Structure 1
Amino acid sequence: MLAVVRRIPPGAVATYGDVAVLAGRPRAWRAAGNVLRGCADAATPCHRVVGAGGALGGYGGNLPLKRALLRAEGVEVGVARVRRFREVRWTPAVMNRARGSDTMNTASHADHGRRTRQAGRAARGRSGRSRP
């Protein structure tokens, strides 16, 4: 994943999900965040990786430094997110092809296991809700 982050050009950003897709692990956006959290390599521009929708995210608890680094590269940054995110988001052509196989954001996966829990409750004859 670090090799992907090194390819993000100055003045551009990518999301943790983008990094995961480009690394060949489209559902591993959380793992991408964990890898970058522990990255101390100065050659890896971790500050160019942001949360979904341009949210700045953590950066080791040093958001002022992340803002300063992005601004130095010409990225407009607000208090908590990248401004004009769609314009500065790095989207190489290979990523658009890779995203075609990603099903993480479909409705069937976006319920975070809720359907499975509901099915289990129904099988046991419980709704999961307590009544007064």
Structure 2
Amino acid sequence: MRELPDLSSEELAEIRRELDEFSDRVYWLAQQVPPGEVVTYGQLALYAGSPRAARAVGTLMRNSLSNGVEVPWQRVINASGGISFKGDYARAELQRRLLEDEGVVFDSNTKCDLKRFRWEPDVLFWEDDE
């Protein structure tokens, strides 16, 4: 197992600040996705300035309610147009129902057509930091 480096309190504070900024960007971007459109975890990571942080976006969406953030988490899906459920079938079914209520159509493989339903922002607000 790899050993973690010893970090100073200043270095830890900087990491925490960067994570908070990333979280704020992701939540703000997710709130821009209109009803009837979807965005992928990877898209949000890219648009928020950290293109390799798709899993972090998933964690933020999954924890948004418990963190007190009102965000349309149901509009964030995986890169193949499907719903990622991580064993939580009830939440996956709720997500699908919410999206269908907004007009998103799923095929027999429970995927939506990203060419039809994918949201694209008019402008990118953050530069890629990586």
- Give your verdict on TM over 0.5: yes
Q: For 2:122 and 2:111, locate their aligned partners in 1 and report how far apart those are by CA, in whole Å.
A: 22
Hey, what does 1:14 align to over in structure 2?
Answer: 39
Distance verdict in 2 for CA 1:79–1:45, change over 3 Å: farther
Of 97, 115, 120, the match for 1:86: 115
Q: Distance in 1 between matches of 2:64 and 2:51?
A: 20
Query: 1:70–1:77: 8 Å Cα contact kept in structure 2?
Result: no
Deviation at 1:79, TM superposition (A): 5.6
In structure 2, runs of 5+ residues without a counterpart are: 1-25
- Equivalent residue number for residue 8 of structure 2: none
Q: Distance in 2 between matches of 1:54 and 1:63?
A: 13
**Are residue 53 (structure 1) and residue 80 (structure 2) matched?**
yes
Structure 2 Cα separation of the partners of residues 8 and 77 of structure 1: 18
CA distance in 2, matches of 1:33, 1:60: 14
Q: What is the Cα-based RMSD across aligned positions, in Å?
A: 2.6
- Worse overlay, 79-88 or 26-35: 79-88
Higher relative contact order (CA 8 A, sep 6+): 2
Match of 2:28 in 1: 3
Query: Number of residue pairs matched?
Result: 100
Distance in 2 between residues matched to 1:102 and 1:16, nearest whole Å? 17
State TM-score, norm by structure 2: 0.66
Bigger Rg, which one:
1
Query: Contact (CA 8 Å) 2:41, 2:78: kept in 1 or not?
Result: yes
Range with bigger deviation, 69-78 or 59-68: 59-68
- Find the residue that maps to 2:58 and give its secondary structure: helix
Runs of 4+ in structure 1 off by over 6 angstroms are none
List gaps (5 residues or longer) in structure 1. Answer: 104-132
Q: 1:88 to 1:21 in 2, by over 3 A?
A: same
